[in-house]
Amino acid sequence: MGLSQIRRALGGLIAVVFVAGCTAALPTGTPGATSSRTATVGPATTPCPTQQAIPSESPPTAGACAVLPGGTFGPLTFDDEFNGAELDTSRWHVDAAQDMGPDQPWRRNYKNENVYLKDGALVIRAAKENPGYSTAAIVTGKKGQPNPFEQAFGRYETRMRLPTQPGHGGAFWLWNESETNVDGSGRDGTEIDIFERIWLDDTADHALHWDGYDADQQSAVQMVKGMGLTDGGWHTIRLDWYPDRYVFFIDGKETWHTSAGGVDQTPNFVILSDEICNWGTAPIDQATLPDYTYYDYVRVWAYVPPQQ
Question: Which one, 183 or 285, has the nearer CB to Ca ion?
Answer: 183
Q: What DSSP state is assigned to residue 146?
A: S
Determine how many CB atoms are found less than 10 A away from the CB of residue 49: 9
Strand partners, 234: 161
Residues 19, 111 contacting (CB under 8 angstroms): yes
**Radius of gyration (C-alpha) of the chain in whole angstroms:** 18
Closest CB to Ca ion among 181 and 281? 181
Whole-number Å distance between alpha carbons of 158 and 191? 17
Considering the complex, state which of residue 173 and residue 297 has its C-beta at the smaller distance from Ca ion.
Answer: 173
Which is nearest to 170 in space by CA: 249, 274, 250, 298? 274
Beta carbon of residue 212, minimum distance to Ca ion (angstroms, whole number): 8
- The site for Ca ion (CB under 5 A) is made up of 181, 183, 185, 188, 210-211
**Within 10 A of 302 (CB to CB), how many other CB atoms are there?**
17
CB of 170 to Ca ion, least distance (A): 27
Least separation in angstroms between CB 265 and Ca ion: 11
Minimal distance in Å, beta carbon 190 to Ca ion?
8
The DSSP bridge partners found for residue 276 are 168
Select 15 or 282, whichever has its Cβ closest to Ca ion. 15
Supply the minimum distance, in Å, between the C-beta of residue 264 and Ca ion: 9
Among residues 188 and 196, whose Cβ is nearest to Ca ion?
188
Q: Could you tell me how far CA 194 lies from the centroid of its own chain?
A: 4
Nearer to Ca ion, 39 or 152 (CB): 152
Quote the least distance from Cβ 241 to Ca ion, whole Å: 17
Measured between alpha carbons, how far is 120 from 34 in angstroms, rounded to an integer? Answer: 13
Distance, CA of 40 to CA of 74 (rounded, Å) = 8
